[in-house]
């Protein structure tokens, strides 16, 4: 294989030497480089090809895609525009240019590009979907819903449109419609099979009294913390409750008295009568915004660890604040990862809290437990054994019970703190997850939680000005 690729390179070089102005041969060389994983050399070949023939559609489009793949989005934009000068009505190139503009945060230009596509092809689903996605990210929820609903008249079985629309229904509190659509499409979109057993899936229509009820784990750690509350309702209906859990959660969920058995996902499952996937529970229990079960607390810390950390922190007489500034961003799609990245504010936002007297900040980030100093922001850690020797989240939960306040971005830490019933402030991006609804500073999911929302789309960190003012008030009240 290697000899064959070398032979291809040599033959291409020979051909180009014979006819140095042959853009087609330069494109072929670029493709050969690209196929061999040499993206920089491929980009160079495509650039030469475009210089040799400014009207070569293939040279410009190959260059644009290689630059996009190499995450050089500003240069990719130029290359896409050059390609579109050659063929202005190429819908695929317009779509790729629009996606590039999204990644450059040029969302108005991206919308213009997608709208041009819709002039050429009024029912172009990718263009409509991208316009709706941008509108929802800007807070224009009703307009985005209208576009998705129109899309589904064109392509009723488009799973991505169903999924995005379901999240918007949930965002505006239309839980019945939202959960039904969400649970109907998400398995296909996520390429995960819906759990299937010989036992029937519970739909809420039959009695759970005396039955062994299995809750199947799914999605992230925060989802597990948030929705395990429904197990308490199943227990109240007379069920014996078995909960599957992600490995890091087995130990802490085992402290919940309404869970009879907690098993790690993948482990053998005890005998049971019926089951429900975790995130189907709100739909099965016919949840509305008004009927969200919000017992506080419904998650628990281990008592001896609470006492241990109380002693460890007893010498600190300041206002103790635990902070979490970074979540996990695991998405296959570059576009989805781009939007998801906006949930994290990093330390730059928390640096705005410098200058509040009488406060000690503690890290609730597992990977930052030896202390952090960043431009004057001092964050104490709890040492290398944090959440290791006692188990994942075990120290975190016990420490939270001994803090005056938890300030966190939207991550599993927020749901753990809310479930424990500790005072919690969650910093939300301009486009927040559906579960936080719209506009409100409180949440029906957690009675001890306050939401701080980014108000200015173009100023990511201004929300911390509000947090700082509220934090000053809390310190004064404690004193």
- Weakest-pLDDT range from 67-71, 158-162, 301-305, 330-334: 330-334
pLDDT-based confidence at 10, cuts 50/70/90? very low
Same domain for 380 and 429, yes or no, is: yes
The DSSP element (H or E) to which 425 belongs, if any, is strand 424-428
Contacts of residues 469-476 at CB distance under 8 Å and 24 or more positions apart, as own/partner, are 470/425, 471/321, 471/353, 471/356, 471/359, 471/405, 471/407, 472/356, 474/319, 474/404, 474/405, 475/319, 475/356, 475/357, 475/358, 475/359
Residue 395 lies inside a defined structural domain of this protein: yes
Residue 57 lies inside a defined structural domain of this protein: yes
How many domains is the chain built from? Answer: 3
User: For 348-393, how does the pLDDT look when each residue is reduced to its tens digit (9 = 90+)?
Assistant: 999 999 999 999 999 999 876 777 777 888 999 998 888 888 999 9
Ordered DSSP codes for 161-197: HHHHHHHHHHHTT-HHHHHHHHHHHHHHHTT-PPP--
Same domain for 315 and 457, yes or no, is: yes
Task: Give me the chain's average pLDDT, please.
Answer: 91
pTM attached to this predicted model: 0.88
What residues are paired with 319 via a beta bridge?
Answer: 359
> The domain spanning residue 367 has which CATH number?
3.40.50.2000
Name, in order, each residue with C-beta under 8 angstroms of 338's C-beta and a sequence gap of 6 or more: 102, 103
> The domain spanning residue 26 has which CATH number?
1.25.40.10
Same domain for 238 and 337, yes or no, is: no
Same domain for 331 and 284, yes or no, is: no
55, 70, 88: which is the final residue of a domain?
Answer: 88
Same domain for 237 and 309, yes or no, is: no
pLDDT-based confidence at 200, cuts 50/70/90? very high
pLDDT (0 to 100) of residue 163 = 95
Is residue 331 predicted with pLDDT exceeding 60? no
User: For 334-343, how does the pLDDT look when each residue is reduced to its tens digit (9 = 90+)?
Assistant: 666 666 666 6
Residue 338 vs residues 100, 341, 403: alpha-carbon distances, Å: 11, 5, 33
Is residue 6 predicted with pLDDT exceeding 90? no
pLDDT (0 to 100) of residue 370 = 73
pLDDT-based confidence at 221, cuts 50/70/90? very high
For the segment 275-297, the average pLDDT, to the nearest whole number, is 96
pLDDT-based confidence at 327, cuts 50/70/90? confident
pLDDT (0 to 100) of residue 148 = 97
Higher per-residue pLDDT: 10 or 345: 345
Is residue 78 predicted with pLDDT exceeding 80? yes
Same domain for 454 and 333, yes or no, is: yes
pLDDT (0 to 100) of residue 337 = 63
Residue 470 lies inside a defined structural domain of this protein: yes
pLDDT-based confidence at 18, cuts 50/70/90? very low
223, 258, 291: which is the final residue of a domain?
Answer: 291
Higher per-residue pLDDT: 239 or 4: 239
3-state secondary structure of 271: coil
Kindly state the percentage of the chain with pLDDT values over 90: 76
Is residue 64 predicted with pLDDT exceeding 90? yes
Same domain for 375 and 267, yes or no, is: no
Same domain for 386 and 253, yes or no, is: no
Residue 128 lies inside a defined structural domain of this protein: no
Higher per-residue pLDDT: 24 or 471: 471
Distance CA 344, CA 94 (A): 30
Same domain for 354 and 224, yes or no, is: no
Per DSSP, helices labelled H in 192-341 are 221-227, 230-236, 250-253, 281-284, 303-312, 334-341
User: For 260-272, how does the pLDDT look when each residue is reduced to its tens digit (9 = 90+)?
Assistant: 999 999 999 999 9
Is residue 12 predicted with pLDDT exceeding 80? no
Whether the ω angle into residue 153 lies within 30 degrees of 0, i.e. cis, is no
Q: Which domain holds residue 277?
A: 212-291
pLDDT-based confidence at 20, cuts 50/70/90? very low
Same domain for 267 and 218, yes or no, is: yes
Name, in order, each residue with C-beta under 8 angstroms of 404's C-beta and a sequence gap of 6 or more: 319, 320, 321, 423, 474, 478
User: For 114-162, how does the pLDDT look when each residue is reduced to its tens digit (9 = 90+)?
Assistant: 999 999 999 999 999 999 999 999 999 999 999 999 999 999 999 999 9
pLDDT (0 to 100) of residue 390 = 92
Name, in order, each residue with C-beta under 8 angstroms of 253's C-beta and a sequence gap of 6 or more: 224, 228, 243, 245, 259, 262, 299
291, 316, 339: which is the final residue of a domain?
Answer: 291
> The domain spanning residue 230 has which CATH number?
3.40.50
Kindly state the percentage of the chain with pLDDT values over 70: 91
């Amino acid at each position: 294989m290697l000899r064959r690729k070398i032979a291809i390179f040599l033959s291409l070089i020979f051909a180009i030497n014979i006819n140095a102005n042959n853009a087609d041969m330069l494109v072929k060389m670029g493709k050969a480089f690209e196929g061999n994983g040499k993206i920089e050399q491929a980009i160079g070949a495509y650039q030469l090809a475009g210089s040799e023939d400014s009207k070569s559609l293939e040279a410009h489009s190959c260059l644009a895609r290689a630059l996009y793949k190499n995450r050089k989005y500003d240069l990719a934009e130029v290359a896409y525009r050059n390609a579109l000068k050659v063929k202005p009505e190429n819908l695929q190139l317009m779509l790729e240019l629009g996606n590039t503009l999204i990644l450059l945060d040029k969302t108005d230009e991206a919308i213009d590009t997608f709208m041009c596509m819709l002039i050429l092809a009024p029912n172009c689903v990718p263009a409509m979907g991208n316009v709706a996605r941008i509108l929802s990210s800007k807070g224009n929820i009703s307009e985005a819903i209208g576009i998705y609903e129109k899309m589904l008249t064109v392509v009723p079985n488009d799973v991505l449109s169903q999924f995005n629309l379901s999240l918007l229904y949930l965002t505006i509190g239309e839980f019945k419609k939202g959960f039904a659509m969400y649970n109907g499409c998400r398995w296909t979109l996520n390429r995960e099979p819906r759990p299937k057993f010989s036992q029937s899936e519970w739909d809420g229509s039959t009695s759970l009294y005396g039955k062994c009820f299995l809750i199947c784990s799914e999605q992230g750690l925060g989802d597990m913390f948030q929705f395990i509350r429904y197990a308490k309702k199943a227990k109240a209906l007379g069920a014996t409750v078995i909960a599957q859990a992600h490995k890091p959660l087995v130990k802490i969920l085992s402290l919940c008295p309404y869970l009879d058995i907690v098993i790690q996902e993948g482990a053998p499952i005890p005998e049971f009568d019926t089951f429900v996937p975790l995130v189907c529970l709100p739909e099965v229990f016919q949840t509305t915004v008004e009927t969200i079960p919000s017992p506080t607390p419904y998650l628990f810390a281990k008592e001896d660890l609470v006492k241990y950390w109380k002693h460890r922190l007893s010498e600190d007489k300041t206002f103790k604040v635990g902070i979490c500034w970074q979540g996990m961003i695991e998405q296959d799609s570059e576009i989805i990862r781009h939007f998801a990245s906006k949930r994290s504010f990093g330390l730059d936002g928390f640096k705005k809290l410098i200058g509040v007297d009488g406060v000690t900040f503690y890290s609730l980030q597992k990977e930052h437990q030896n202390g952090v100093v960043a431009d004057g922001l001092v964050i104490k850690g709890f040492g290398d054994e944090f959440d290791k020797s006692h188990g994942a989240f075990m120290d975190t939960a016990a420490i939270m019970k001994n803090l005056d306040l938890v300030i966190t971005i939207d991550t599993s830490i927020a749901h753990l703190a809310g479930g424990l019933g500790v005072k919690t402030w969650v910093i939300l991006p301009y486009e927040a997850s559906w579960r936080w609804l719209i506009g409100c500073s409180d949440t029906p999911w957690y009675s001890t939680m306050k939401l701080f929302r980014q108000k200015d789309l173009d100023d990511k960190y201004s929300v911390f000005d509000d947090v700082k003012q509220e934090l000053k008030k809390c310190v004064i009240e404690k004193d």
